[in-house]
Amino acid sequence: MPVFRISINVKYVHVFLGTTWMQEITWLLMNDGNISAAKQTPVYMRSPFLEFKDMTLNEVGLDIASQMASPRVIKSHLPLKLMPSLLHKSGPKDPLAEIKQLAQFLGKTNLDDVTLSSIANHCSFQEMKSNPMTNHLDVYSIDSSVSPLLRKGTVGDWKSQFTVQQDEDFDKVYSHKMAGFDIPFLYDLKSK
């Protein structure tokens, strides 16, 4: 098993929605807005999913992350209690303002407004949906003809997909399995 060393200056960004969006924004901020580099390597290789293991492709997130130079941008589904410091983000009401706030949190105060606006444009839903480095169309386990990773870019669209019964069933299972965890979810941008 590879040794995975965490630097002393670790920052965690916790998102409830828009994980791929946040991966792309965070990676670009940490790499000074280098969009040309972002267009050459899939987001899941630039920002690996730490717990991911695919024996078909022989890809292990921990291995990928261990080989990266610091600072690294890593995706994880580890429980919140394992994350020491958080910046809680909920949704892209004002993407440029969110990106500026995230840049500040990450200590990337050297990035000018032109670079931050370029990141905001590159990370718009339509740009990411058409970008082969972020849309996951190359991932064999995602059948985009059934359900693409980037569908509509609409917070709360699940409501148009679930029946009332499915929603009630989900709530019942979720309440049971998540008992004891206080994780607020944003179901639409109006409730923020």
Per-residue pLDDT in tens (0 to 9) along the chain, 192 residues? 444 455 545 555 655 557 788 889 999 999 999 999 999 998 888 888 878 888 887 888 888 888 888 778 888 877 666 654 444 444 456 888 888 988 988 889 999 999 999 999 998 888 888 887 787 777 767 777 776 677 777 777 777 888 889 989 988 998 888 887 766 555 555 554
Q: What pLDDT score was predicted for residue 20? A: 83
In CATH, what number is assigned to the domain containing residue 95?
Answer: 3.40.50.300
What distance in Å separates the CA atoms of residue 144 and residue 165, rounded to the nearest whole number? Answer: 26
- Is 176 inside any structural domain? no
Q: Can you read off the two tokens belonging to residue 189?
A: 């941008």
For residue 14, what is the enclosing H or E element? strand 12-15
Q: What pLDDT score was predicted for residue 35? A: 94
- Is 16 inside any structural domain? yes
- Is 166 inside any structural domain? no
Q: Are 97 and 113 in contact (CB under 8 A)?
A: no
Q: What pLDDT score was predicted for residue 110? A: 94
- Is 173 inside any structural domain? no
What is the separation of C-alpha 145 from the centre of its chain, rounded to a whole number of angstroms?
22
> How many distinct structural domains can be found in the chain?
1
Q: What pLDDT score was predicted for residue 38? A: 93
- Is 179 inside any structural domain? no
Q: What pLDDT score was predicted for residue 13? A: 61
Q: Are 54 and 44 in contact (CB under 8 A)?
A: no
Residue range of the domain that includes 67 = 12-153
- Is 72 inside any structural domain? yes
